[in-house]
Structures are given as C-alpha cells and as structure tokens.
Structure 1
Amino acid sequence: MTEPIRLLVPNPSALTLEGTNTWVLPGTNGTPAVVIDPGPDDFAHLSRVRAACPDGIEEIWITHGHLDHVGGASRLAEWTGCSIRALDPQISMADPLRDGERGEVGGMAVVCATLPGHSSDSIGFIVSAPSGNMMFCGDTILGRGTTQIVWPDGNLAQYLATLDKMARLVEQYSITRLMPGHGPIVHDPAERIARYRTHRLERLDEIRRAYAAGHTSVAAIVDHVYGDLVGDTQRAAELTVRAQLEYLELSAN
C-alpha cells in the first residue's frame, strides 16, 4: 500500500477544526481501495473521494456514526457498488466490525480496535506499513486540541479506559502515527495519549472544585470552568460536563 491519501471535507468549524478527514487506503497492482469516513453527504467531496480511487472501492470503513463522518457513506456505496462496515450494525451493510478483527488492505495487515468513549460505537484501525505503523482513530484523539465526550452516548469512564488501551496498542504495535478524524497527523502517539489523559483528570478536578464551590448546574459549571462559550462550542462543553458529572456521580440541575 502506498501512503494514505487525506481528503479534507469543506466543513470547517470550531468542532471539526479545518474539516473532517476522509482517508483513502489505496490498493496495489490494480486492487480497489478502502475509504475510511467518507464524510457528510457532500456531492463534490464524494466525487473527489471516488476520483482518488481509480481502481474502485472495496469497502467503506466507519470510525463512528456521527454525520460528519458517515453521512455520505450510502451515496458513495451506491455509486461504487461497495459495502459499508462499522461497529454499529445499523450502519453496516455487511458484517459489523469487531474488536480484534484482522484483515488486509493494499498488502498491509489491519487490526480493528474498539475505542468507546467519544461515542459508544467508536473503532480504530491499526495499519502496518513500511513507513511505520499507524492507527486511524476517528475522533478519539484529534490532530489538535481535545475531543468531546458526546453524552449520553459518550462515556468518560469508557474514554479513560480507551486511552489506556490505546497506550498499550501503541507500544504493542510500535505505532508511529495517529491518523485522526480532524486535524493533522499526530507524530507523537504515546505522548499525545498521555497528555489527553492528564487533561481529562485535570478537568475532573476542576469540575469537583466548581461543584463544591456551589456551581452545581451544567450551565454554571461550563461558565466557571470553560469560560464564555457560545453556539456549538458551548453545547459541546455542556455535553462533556454532563459526562464528567456522571463519572463523578454528581447530580446537576
């Protein structure tokens, strides 16, 4: 397999960064490609994805079911005659993906690893390559900043366990790059995972202190801990705060 191709969806925002990353894993010697997260149902973007796969598409793999990653999957599958595979059986056209499932693309070995936390159906793909092993990790870790815990589907206890699992996988498979669903490639996987975990624990301490100081509503905690947010970033912070309160077993009104 040659190097993965990154195709950026034109949907930049505070939450998607410069946009959603669609990844194309090219085949070799005329074999079809695999597409990871085709993005939303954007005709122009899906046309670019199809053009990047001149030998066709074998399968579409979905890291998780949020629309900015999966919304265009059905259209692309219809255009190319390929199947869609995801952890969520309601998204999969073929057998759902499984934790530990092994396969091959472009002559390279692939291992699937469930990564719940950001969402319950998050899954990643470890791809062995001559240039260094990589993990496609969806929104579990971003190329820049930190990710949202999308409560109630997202779960902080699961997310912290996933970070520990990712750390083990990075060591086990000598992973040198994380290929995120948003933002640039991460070239320091172990360090980034450790920073994410430290950040989450520090946020939990901030939530505890805010709650003890009388900021007991979600809105009050968001204002106290995250500052003056508006729009999508405020809603994202509110969902993450709810996930943190659930983890701490604190109520909020």
Structure 2
Amino acid sequence: MFIAGFPAGSFQANCYVIGGERGGDALVVDPGQDASERLSSVLAEHRMRPVAVLLTHGHLDHVASAAAVADAAGIPAYLHGADDYMLDDPLAALSPGAGVMLAGMDLTGLRPDTVLTLTDVEELRLAGLTLQIDHTPGHTGGGVVYRIGADGDRPEVLLTGDTLFAGSIGRTDLPGGSTEQLMASIATHLLTRGDEAVVLPGHGPTSTIGDERRSNPFLT
C-alpha cells in the first residue's frame, strides 16, 4: 500500500495520495488550497495515476482544489450529500467573519464536473483498495471517515478529516456543527477500532487510536 501526504495552503489541511501500490492508481484525499502543484509532483515522482478525489467533508480548506484536480484528470469527486451545498456556497458553512478573512480569494468554481454522493454508501472499491465509509457528523453534517482494513503487518488506516486529530477533535461551532453528534461519531466509529489503527487526520501529525484513547484530553 502506498500513502503520501502534505499540508496544503494557508490552512495547512492535509492532502493525501493513497493507492494499492506505487506506480498504480491513486486516490487523492482532501486537495485543499493551492494543492495542485505539490500534488502533481507527488503523483509524478511515484508514477501514480489519480482515479478519484475523496473528500472527508465540504469545508473550503479541504475542497479548494478538488475541482481543479478532478476536472484536469477527468475523474469524479466523492462527498457526502449533507455537505454538497458547500461547493456552491462555501461561506455558508463558515463563521460570520470568514468573508473578511477570505477577501480576495476566488470562491467560485469549487464544484467538480462530477460529484458522486456518499450518502448511504458504506463501501468503495477504488485504486486496488476497499474503503469502508463511516458517516461521522459533528464537525459538519456530512463528515465521513474512510477506513482501509488491516492487511498482514499493516494496521488499519483511518482518514479522519476534521473529526479526530492528534490530541484534539474537530470544532463544532460552525454551521452544521454539533458537539453531541461529534462525540457520538467518535465513540461509535473511531474508539471502536483497535489501538494500532493509524489516524491520518485533516490537520497536524498522524496518530493511532490507542494514543488518542489514552491521552487525547477530549476523550479521556
């Protein structure tokens, strides 16, 4: 299995490239602000061919380059239906002062040509991988976690977006957020995984479920 990642743009949202093997098909997860150039370099270096863009949720910092990446490669983007509106009106999902902070940033053209909904989808088979899809509302109404099962010595891999971070959890004060829902999502879909499961979050360093279970102040 191949995994590479890098933080993109001023928001430093983690963009991941994942595939069954180096030199094969690839999934691009959460291509955020200004991710395209770095992403192209990663794909070229490892001879990967993108076949889909996977979005953990609809916030701007995770989808800003989704259309550019998906449309250039002629591939679909996957997003839960509850967050679909954010592609057309990103400010509707942000704080009231976000418009001032984002002044000068082009907020148009965020919708890829092909957007496939993850609503009621429990599994995807792409790029030589089988991904389980867990709907994890709380940070946004349409947040999801992508799970890739353990294989031999490789532990389970969890792409948690902004649901769970190393030492923290996603904020719930934005439109569509709910602390109660987020904690229920984490308890149901993440804390039920094995301690060795690797957490690839939407921001910050990687972790494991065991480390978060033991030391995350929001969960202990």
TM above 0.5? yes
* 3-state secondary structure, aligned to 2:118: coil
Aligned pair partner of 2:130 in 109, 120, 133: 109
Q: How does 1:1-253 map to 2 (within 5 A)?
A: 2-11=1-10, 16=11, 19-28=12-21, 31-51=24-44, 54-88=47-81, 89-90=84-85, 93-99=114-120, 101-130=122-151, 131-167=154-190, 169-171=192-194, 176-187=197-208, 189-193=209-213, 196=216, 199=218
> What secondary structure, in the 3-state scheme, does the structure 1 residue paired with 2:189 have?
helix
Question: What TM-score does the superposition give when structure 1 sets the normalisation length?
Answer: 0.65
User: In 2, Cα distance between the equivalents of 1:128 and 1:75?
Assistant: 30
Q: Relative to structure 2, which stretch is displaced further, 176-185 or 93-102?
A: 93-102
| Percentage of identical aligned residues | 24
Q: Classify 1:81/1:101 alpha carbon distance in 2 versus 1 (closer, same or farther; 3 Å).
A: same
Change beyond 3 A, Cα 1:27–1:3: closer
Give the letter for the 1:138 counterpart. Answer: G
Give the 3 Å change call, closer, same or farther, for CA 120–53 of structure 1 in structure 2: farther
Does the aligned pair in 2 maintain the 1:163–1:193 contact within 8 Å?
no
What is the deviation of 1:128?
Answer: 1.7
SS state at 2:124 partner? strand
* Residues 193/149 of structure 1: CA separation in 2 closer, same or farther (3 Å cut): farther
Larger Rg: 1
User: Partners of 2:141 and 2:201 in 1: how far apart?
Assistant: 17
How has the CA–CA distance of structure 1 residues 85 and 146 changed in structure 2, closer, same or farther, with 3 Å as cutoff?
Answer: closer
Deviations 1:32-64 (A, max 9, x none): 211110112455334335435634211000001
Tell me the secondary structure at the aligned position of residue 170 of structure 1.
Answer: coil
Contact 1:98 1:112 in 2 (8 A): no
Match of 2:186, SS state, is helix
Q: How far apart are the structure 2 equivalents of 1:53 and 1:97?
A: 28
> Residues of 2 paired with 1:45 and 1:4: CA distance?
15
Runs of 4+ in 1 over 6 A off after TM superposition: none
Distance, in Å, in 2 between the alignment partners of 1:148 and 1:193 is 18
Contact 1:86 1:96 in 2 (8 A): yes
Alpha carbons of structure 1 residues 69 and 49: separation in structure 2 relative to 1, 3 Å? farther
Separation in 1, partners of 2:169, 2:22: 39
Q: CA deviation at 1:29?
A: 7.7
| CA pair 139-96 structure 1, distance change in 2 beyond 3 A | same
Residue identity matched to 2:123: R
* SS of aligned partner of 2:193: helix
Structure with the bigger RCO (C-alpha within 8 Å, sep 6+) is 2
Paired AA for residue 193 in structure 2: V
Gaps of 5+ in 1: 202-253
Give the superposition deviation at 1:25: 0.7
Note the aligned Cα RMSD (angstroms): 2.8
Instruction: Specify every segment of 5 or more residues in structure 2 that has no aligned partner in the other structure, as ranges.
Output: 88-111
**Closer, same or farther: CA 29–155 of 1 in aligned 2, 3 Å:** closer
The structure richer in strand per residue is 2
- Give how far 1:170 is off: 0.8
* Separation in 1, partners of 2:213, 2:171: 15
Give 3-state SS (helix, strand or coil) of 2:125's partner.
strand
Secondary structure of 2:116's match? coil
Q: Is the 8 A contact 2:19 2:129 kept in 1?
A: no
User: How many residues end up aligned between the 2 structures?
Assistant: 190
Amino acid aligned to 1:109: T
* Matched residue SS, 2:188: helix
